[in-house]
Chains A and B, each alone.
Chain A
Amino acid sequence: MTKKEYIYHLKNRLRNLPIDEVESAVDYVSELFDEAGEENAEEVARDLGSPAKFAAQIRAEYAINQHCLPEDTTTVYREKPKSNNGWKTLALILLGIAALPVGLPLVLVLAVLIFVAVVVGVCLLFALGCVLLAGFIAVCSLVYAGFKMLTVSLASGLMSIGLGLIGISGVVLIATAAIYLFIKLKPIVINGFANLYNRLKGDKEHVDE
């Protein structure tokens, strides 16, 4: 692959990143090709690996830096994260892991695990939602029944209303706790994958593309 072709493909794969990230990568690659000389272009391209894989690594590192950069470093380059809800970060990290030369079996295993986790997660969420809804309906009807009972027996009616209201607040509390847990867990999961990526990328054999 020539320098021009390589940079074209690389830019194509990086088009969703900020302009300075793309330029920095292009400058880096340009310099490598220029210094090696035109006659060695093939070797440079081979050493770099395919533009697609290189781009995946760049995107993954970018996503990790955006997400996990510690607050107390005196960095000049820290950019404000865009409206990133974390899922995009996770997707980029997973792409980066897939780009590493760790072999197809591992990628397949990871893919299956992730799929299963997603299915289980969705089912659990759905189940939780149903339970909460059922509970909510139950306690609301308790309050309603309580009001109806007021005319018959004031004490029973009030107790029913009271219990119902306690029940409603209980349901709301559980729902809030579930949402809070979910928000807290997400960065932990993403950090876990980021660490996996960092652990895997270490040493690289030359891959003949």
Chain B
Amino acid sequence: MVFQLGSALLDACVLAILQKEDAYGYKLTQEAKKVMNVSESTLYPVLRRLMKEGYLETYDQEYQGRNRRYYRLTDSGRVKCQYYLAEWDLFSKNVDSILKGGNEND
């Protein structure tokens, strides 16, 4: 992966993944790794911080005798996710117009 994922983009991706549905730790990291080249050790502090900032909450569920810790968005987490999506739309459009040039409408 050529481009660096800044800390904000990491947050945004984690929130977006959870917006679709709740996920337990392992599943969340698997999903994240599909789209970003990050390690689980990078993701853990992100999850922890998002939780402390009130965007995520956790709950536990038993599965085959194991304990799974699920993550889900809080209301403020949903709001933050929308915010990031809007910011990304703006940002990616700007990057597109520079990288791909050509069809400048403004």
With A57-B45, A74-B76 given, is the CB distance from A203 to B52 under 8 Å? no
Query: Does B85 have its Cβ within 8 Å of any Cβ on chain A?
Result: no
Query: Count the A-B residue pairs with Cβ separation under 8 angstroms: how many?
Result: 93
Query: Does A182 have its Cβ within 8 Å of any Cβ on chain B?
Result: no
Chain B residues within an 8 Å CB radius of A41: none
Which of B1-9, B14-22, B93-101 makes up part of the contact surface? Answer: B1-9
Flag if A58 contacts B44 (CB, 8 Å): yes
Q: Which of A24, A48, A198, A205 contacts B41 (CB 8 A)?
A: A48
Query: Does A123 have its Cβ within 8 Å of any Cβ on chain B?
Result: no
Q: Which of B9, B40, B49 contacts A32 (CB 8 A)?
A: B40
Flag if B36 contacts A203 (CB, 8 Å): yes
Chain B residues within an 8 Å CB radius of A69: 52-53
Q: A47-B39, A48-B41 are in contact. List 7 more A-B contacts (CB 8 A).
A: A31-B24, A48-B40, A69-B52, A202-B5, A202-B9, A204-B37, A205-B37
Enumerate chain B interface residues (CB-CB to A < 8 A): 1, 3-7, 9-10, 24-27, 29, 36-42, 44-45, 47-49, 51-54, 57, 66-69, 76
